[in-house]
């Protein structure tokens, strides 16, 4: 049977989702707010360029094309109810309904849920709608232990951490005041030290199936310097763990996610279905939750989907029908993703600059590439203000995967930069040393 699938979204995460669906036999359609050249090619032009939150247009496009199911890539349509709208019109979706998508859409909802259901990965936090009691909370926790998060989606911006962005109690209070003045609800959280890892899972309402662990690199420059970005690249290991994260740690995080999925149903009456991204940190006090996302990660989707051996359409159907199988297989290979971004990103990116891609050479090397925020005009590709392309090396071990990614980056030219250190032994050792120093 031929399956017609619709992908919603326009970035590198959606490009790799679309590639995996087509690889496994789907006929692809794409609905995106800006044209992703990879999705345009994979779908052979069966696309619509329109706002990803205009549900009636998505429904009309889906009905016209007899779509069997939709896969929602980004969080923005999920948190405003795209799945509820499509399902009401008879279009099954891979993605959570609005109530369950609050796990990403509201940090306050998530912390309250973890607290109410006594989920051990929780950390100390308190939400505020006014400045009342903020100062005493800061005093209790110690200003050097404070993270300030506006509630709701912030696109990776808005979270400010003591020591990185805030350097005194007054800085914290001023930032809280700014958010309160903007009518935002805010969450003050305990700052935790450790090594972060991404655990992306497939969830069918009850079953939670893990994919290989990934570590992302948020800082713009080498050695984790510079401003935060959407993620400059990521790696995964051939054993699907991290050198500083054991199978027991993963099992603990999976148990945690299962409890959260059950708690979401108990609290909202809605089953969580779709991809659930657990942003965890291993600390001296155990595994703690930084954030959930109601979607796959970007770049992390590019680390896991190219390794998938199980048919992705079957996985999507399992998620939709609530009968996801637990034996989902991935190749025992390492991956390294290096993101190329326009020079000046994220502060003052050089837009509308030509990106030259040597596709022949990339193919020879076996490096994979995914389009992010670039546009194609007259056969040429140009930068916008965000990350341009993800280049992926897949190999038997991390060293070889890093080499492929690095050589792949060499096939792209333009006014771009990237982090050479991602996936290198030196950076990995730094992470191991950091973790060991905390566990002593
Ligand atoms: N890589 C972080 C994210 O997708 O949110």
Which atom of ligand 1 lies nearest, measured to the CA of 13? 4
Containing H/E element for 227? strand 225-228
Q: Is 216 in the pocket of ligand 1 (CB under 6 A)?
A: yes
Residues 159-175, mean pLDDT to the nearest whole number: 94
The Å distance, Cα 250 to ligand 1 centre, comes to: 19
Alpha helical stretches, state H, 220-375: 247-268, 300-304, 312-321, 359-365
Q: In terms of C-beta density within 10 A (0-12 exposed, 13-18 middle, 19 or more buried), how is residue 415 classed?
A: middle
Contact 362, 369 (CB under 8 A): yes
The Å distance, Cα 231 to ligand 1 centre, comes to: 7
Predicted confidence at residue 435, as pLDDT, reads 97
**Closest among 1, 38, 44, 46 to 20, alpha carbons compared:** 38
Q: Is 293 in the pocket of ligand 1 (CB under 6 A)?
A: yes
Q: Is the predicted pLDDT of residue 440 greater than 90, yes or no?
A: no
Instruction: Scan for tokens 């076996």, then name that residue.
Output: 366
Look up residue 315 and give its two tokens.
């996985």
Q: Is the predicted pLDDT of residue 373 greater than 80, yes or no?
A: yes
Neighbours of 92 (CB within 10 A): 17
CA atoms within 13 A on the CB side of 88: 11
Residues 243-269, mean pLDDT to the nearest whole number: 97
The Å distance, Cα 103 to ligand 1 centre, comes to: 14
Which atom of ligand 1 lies nearest, measured to the CA of 293? 5
Supply the residue whose CA is at minimum distance from atom 2 of ligand 1. Answer: 297
Q: Is 298 in the pocket of ligand 1 (CB under 6 A)?
A: yes
Domain residue ranges in the chain: 3-95, 124-190, 195-427
Q: Is the predicted pLDDT of residue 410 greater than 80, yes or no?
A: yes
Residues 406-416, mean pLDDT to the nearest whole number: 98
Instruction: Scan for tokens 């247009």, then name that residue.
Output: 57
Which atom of ligand 1 lies nearest, measured to the CA of 234? 1
Tens of pLDDT along 381-392? 999 999 999 999
The Å distance, Cα 186 to ligand 1 centre, comes to: 21
Contact 235, 227 (CB under 8 A): no
Query: What pTM was computed for the model?
Result: 0.97
Query: Is the domain defined by 195-427 classed in CATH 3.30.390.10?
Result: no
List 49's β-bridge partners, or say none. Answer: 32
Q: Is 4 helix (H, G, I), strand (E, B) or coil?
A: strand
**Closest among 224, 200, 227, 196 to 211, alpha carbons compared:** 200
**CA dist 144 to 11, 180, 283, 329, Å?**
36, 21, 17, 43
Give me the DSSP letters along 163-221: TTTB-SHHHHHHHHHHHHHTT--EEEEE---SEEEEEEEEEESS-EEE---BEE--EEE
Supply the residue whose CA is at minimum distance from atom 5 of ligand 1. Answer: 297
CA atoms within 13 A on the CB side of 166: 24
Residues 194-202, mean pLDDT to the nearest whole number: 98
Q: Is the predicted pLDDT of residue 155 greater than 90, yes or no?
A: no
The Å distance, Cα 260 to ligand 1 centre, comes to: 19
Q: Is 74 in the pocket of ligand 1 (CB under 6 A)?
A: no
The Å distance, Cα 105 to ligand 1 centre, comes to: 14
Predicted confidence at residue 1, as pLDDT, reads 75
Rounded CA separation 132/287 (Å):
31
Average pLDDT, the chain: 97
Rounded CA separation 65/277 (Å):
30
Residues 24-33, mean pLDDT to the nearest whole number: 98
Share of the chain above pLDDT 90, in %: 97
Q: Is 297 in the pocket of ligand 1 (CB under 6 A)?
A: yes
pLDDT tier at 15 (50, 70, 90 boundaries)?
very high
The Å distance, Cα 106 to ligand 1 centre, comes to: 16
Contact 209, 308 (CB under 8 A): no
Query: Is the domain defined by 124-190 classed in CATH 3.40.50.300?
Result: no
Which atom of ligand 1 lies nearest, measured to the CA of 291? 5
- Determine the residue of 213, 296, 299, 386 to mutate for testing ligand 1's pocket, defined as the one with the most ligand atoms within 8 A of the Cβ atom: 299
Residues 358-368, mean pLDDT to the nearest whole number: 98
- Determine the residue of 231, 234, 387, 390 to mutate for testing ligand 1's pocket, defined as the one with the most ligand atoms within 8 A of the Cβ atom: 231
**Closest among 384, 204, 394 to 309, alpha carbons compared:** 394
Predicted confidence at residue 402, as pLDDT, reads 98
Look up residue 367 and give its two tokens.
């490096």
Tens of pLDDT along 318-340? 999 999 999 999 999 999 999 99
Rounded CA separation 297/299 (Å):
6
The Å distance, Cα 155 to ligand 1 centre, comes to: 9
Q: Judge if 3-95 and 195-427 fold alike in CATH terms.
A: no
Neighbours of 103 (CB within 10 A): 28
What class has domain 3-95?
Answer: alpha beta
Residues 210-236, mean pLDDT to the nearest whole number: 96
Q: Is 194 in the pocket of ligand 1 (CB under 6 A)?
A: no
Which atom of ligand 1 lies nearest, measured to the CA of 297? 4
Residues 280-294, mean pLDDT to the nearest whole number: 97
* Angle, vertex CA 200, rays to CA 191 and CA 95, nearest 5: 110
Residues 159-171, mean pLDDT to the nearest whole number: 94
Residues 43-71, mean pLDDT to the nearest whole number: 98
Q: Is 231 in the pocket of ligand 1 (CB under 6 A)?
A: yes
């Amino acid at each position: 049977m031929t399956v017609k699938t619709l992908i919603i979204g326009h970035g590198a995460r959606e490009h790799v989702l679309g590639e995996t669906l087509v690889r496994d036999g789907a006929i692809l359609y794409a609905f995106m707010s800006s044209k992703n050249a990879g999705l345009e090619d994979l779908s052979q032009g069966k696309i619509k360029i329109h706002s990803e939150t205009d549900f009636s247009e998505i429904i009309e496009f889906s009905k016209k094309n007899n779509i069997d199911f939709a896969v929602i890539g980004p969080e923005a349509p999920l948190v405003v109810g795209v799945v509820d709208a499509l399902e009401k019109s008879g279009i099954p979706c891979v993605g959570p309904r609005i109530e369950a998508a609050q796990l990403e859409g509201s940090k306050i909802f998530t912390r309250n849920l973890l607290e109410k259901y006594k989920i051990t990965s929780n950390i100390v936090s308190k939400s505020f709608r006014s400045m009342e009691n903020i100062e005493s909370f800061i005093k209790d926790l110690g200003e050097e232990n404070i993270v300030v998060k506006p509630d709701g989606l912030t696109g990776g911006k808005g979270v400010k951490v003591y020591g990185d962005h805030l350097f005194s109690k007054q800085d914290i209070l001023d930032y809280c005041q700014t958010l309160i003045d903007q009518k935002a609800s805010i969450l003050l959280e305990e700052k935790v030290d450790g090594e972060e890892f991404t655990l992306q899972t497939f969830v069918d309402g009850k079953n939670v199936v893990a994919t290989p662990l990934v570590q992302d690199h948020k800082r713009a420059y080498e050695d984790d310097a510079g401003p935060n970005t959407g993620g400059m690249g990521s790696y995964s290991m051939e054993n699907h763990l991290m050198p500083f994260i054991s199978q027991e740690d993963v099992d603990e995080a999976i148990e945690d996610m299962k409890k959260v999925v059950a708690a979401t149903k108990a609290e909202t009456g809605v089953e969580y279905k779709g991809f659930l991204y657990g942003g965890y940190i291993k600390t001296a006090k155990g595994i703690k939750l930084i954030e959930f996302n109601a979607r796959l990660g970007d770049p992390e989707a590019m680390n896991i989907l190219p390794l998938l051996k199980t048919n992705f359409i079957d996985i999507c159907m399992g998620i939709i029908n609530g009968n996801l199988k637990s034996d989902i297989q991935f190749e025992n290979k390492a991956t390294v993703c290096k993101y190329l971004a326009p020079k000046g990103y994220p502060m003052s990116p050089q837009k509308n600059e030509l990106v030259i891609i040597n596709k022949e050479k990339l193919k020879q090397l076996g490096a994979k590439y995914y389009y992010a925020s670039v546009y194609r005009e007259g056969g040429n590709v140009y930068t916008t203000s965000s990350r341009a392309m993800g280049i992926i090396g897949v190999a038997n071990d991390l060293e070889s995967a890093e080499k492929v990614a690095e050589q792949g980056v060499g096939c792209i030219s333009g006014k771009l930069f990237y982090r050479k250190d991602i996936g290198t032994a030196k950076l990995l050792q730094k992470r191991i040393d950091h973790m060991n120093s905390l566990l002593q």
